[in-house]
């Protein structure tokens, strides 16, 4: 099955182009590098903030920047994005602000609200529930007669959930304009992929639904971008959904509450940094082409640091949360149980005996 679904690659880990059929420009390469550096800077800062107790438990994504940035860069205005709790490089690329992402990890409801006109759903914490949602949004656009598409992000563990199969089956039957974007990191928390499925690839699961499927080097931002672009155009042209398996590697823990050294050889992560790192391979390519510039990279890094520091300041100076949000936004009209809980809280706050 791995032979049937070979991994598509445009640039290898050493920065060599292995598929010369694409027109690559200096500006495009630098754009992709800048987006990934911005995302990695945010990720590292967020881990530090959590360790300092300034935000809650955080889900890092370092190592997966190419998969997220490359795929999100292929979307157009008006398309739909359904991320998980780990896909901040994707949401950042598609239009979320750094401060919004920071507020999310601060536990603020404002962190779930996208910019005006951006169709970005709140991060899905329940595993795979966003796949049927993405299919539904795509079908709604199809019924309205638009050419908008949806993309759903999920990890390898999500493919063991019923929602994965329901989302793909429904999308296949009704030819929904949706792209299912899997980031196969090899582990669903502490469970290696070979212990959760007999399938040799995730892409092959598309066969059950007569759905186009492909495996791509998830650390190659160019391969991810071009293959996602193809899948999106197919969906936009009414040719149905696609399942993309981006084979990648996350360097760090599942979350900051996790210790990966208990179930994964961390030495392997150190080796992979040199061999497959998405930023390093673009840097090697630019050096080979003669347009790598240390001063340019330092300037981009400085701008990223400044943007993120400003967002942290905004997060920490944000007005205190309104406790009524816990009660007032669960249902359109509060149920009697919600009203009772709110009354009990307000009575307790006033010092009354409940």
State the pLDDT at residue 182.
98
The residues pairing with 188 across neighbouring beta strands, listed in sequence order, are: 191
Which region among 94-98, 153-157, 260-264, 284-288 has the lowest average model confidence (pLDDT)?
Answer: 260-264
Q: Is the pTM of this model over 0.75?
A: yes
**Which phi and psi (to 5°) does residue 180 adopt?**
-95, 110
Mean of per-residue pLDDT scores for the chain: 95
Q: Which residues of 35-48 are buried (b: 16+ CB within 10 A; e: fewer)?
A: bbbbbbbbbebbbe
Q: How far is the CA of 170 from the CAs of 35, 157, 174, in angstroms?
A: 34, 20, 6
State yes or no: is 254 an active-site residue. yes
**Which phi and psi (to 5°) does residue 274 adopt?**
-80, -30
Instruction: Give 202's pLDDT tier (boundaries 50, 70, 90).
Output: very high
Contact 32, 228 (CB under 8 A): no
State the pLDDT at residue 109.
87
Contact 212, 149 (CB under 8 A): no
State the pLDDT at residue 323.
84
Domain spans of the chain, in order of start: 7-320, 322-354
The tokens describing 250, both together, are 């996350």
State the pLDDT at residue 353.
64
Q: Give the whole-angstrom CA distance, residue 95 versus residue 114.
A: 8
Instruction: Give me the mean pLDDT over the 330-336 stretch.
Output: 90
Percent of the chain topping pLDDT 70: 99
Contact 73, 28 (CB under 8 A): no
Contact 247, 95 (CB under 8 A): no
State yes or no: is 263 an active-site residue. yes
Catalytic residue among 40, 254, 281, 284: 254
Pairing of strands 191-192, 187-188: antiparallel
Provide CB contacts within 8 A for 115, sequence distance 6+. 95, 96, 97, 100
The CATH-assigned architecture of domain 7-320 is 3-Layer(aba) Sandwich (3.40)
State the pLDDT at residue 92.
98
Catalytic residue among 250, 251, 284, 285: 250
Query: Is 217 in a helix, a strand, or coil?
Result: strand
Instruction: Give me the mean pLDDT over the 112-131 stretch.
Output: 96
Catalytic residue among 16, 22, 263, 329: 263
For the cut 80, the answer to whether the pLDDT of residue 13 exceeds it is yes
State yes or no: is 250 an active-site residue. yes
């Amino acid at each position: 099955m791995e032979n049937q679904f070979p991994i598509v690659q445009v640039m290898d880990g050493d920065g060599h182009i292995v598929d010369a059929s694409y027109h690559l420009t200096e500006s495009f390469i630098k754009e992709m590098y800048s987006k990934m550096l911005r995302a990695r800077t945010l990720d590292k800062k967020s881990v530090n903030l959590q360790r300092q107790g300034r935000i809650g438990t955080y889900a890092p994504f370092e190592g997966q920047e190419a998969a997220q940035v490359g795929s999100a860069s292929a979307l157009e205005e008006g398309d739909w994005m359904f991320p998980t709790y780990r896909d901040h490089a994707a949401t950042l690329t598609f239009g979320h602000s750094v401060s919004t992402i920071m507020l999310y990890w601060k536990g603020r409801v404002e962190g779930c609200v996208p910019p005006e006109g951006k169709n970005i759903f709140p991060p899905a914490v329940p595993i795979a529930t966003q796949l049927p949602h993405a299919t539904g949004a795509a079908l709604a656009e199809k019924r309205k007669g638009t050419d908008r598409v949806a993309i759903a992000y999920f990890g390898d563990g999500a493919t063991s959930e019923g929602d994965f199969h329901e989302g793909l089956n429904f999308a296949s039957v009704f030819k929904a304009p949706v792209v299912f974007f899997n980031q196969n990191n090899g582990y669903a928390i502490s469970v290696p992929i070979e212990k959760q499925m007999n399938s040799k690839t995730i892409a092959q699961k598309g066969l059950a639904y007569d759905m186009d499927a492909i495996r791509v080097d998830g650390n190659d931002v160019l391969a991810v971008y071009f293959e996602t672009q193809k899948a999106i155009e197919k969906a936009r042209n009414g040719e149905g959904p696609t399942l993309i398996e981006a084979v990648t590697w996350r360097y760090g823990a599942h979350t900051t509450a996790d210790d990966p050294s208990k179930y994964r050889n961390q030495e392997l992560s150190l080796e992979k940094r040199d061999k497959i790192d998405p930023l390093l391979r673009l840097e090697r390519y630019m050096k080979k082409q003669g347009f790598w510039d240390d001063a340019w990279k330092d300037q981009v890094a400085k701008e990223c640091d400044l943007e993120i520091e400003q967002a942290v300041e905004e997060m920490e100076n944000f007005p205190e949360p309104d406790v009524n949000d816990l009660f007032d936004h669960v249902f359109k009209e509060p149920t009697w149980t919600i009203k009772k809980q709110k009354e009990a809280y307000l009575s307790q706050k006033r010092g009354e005996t409940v």
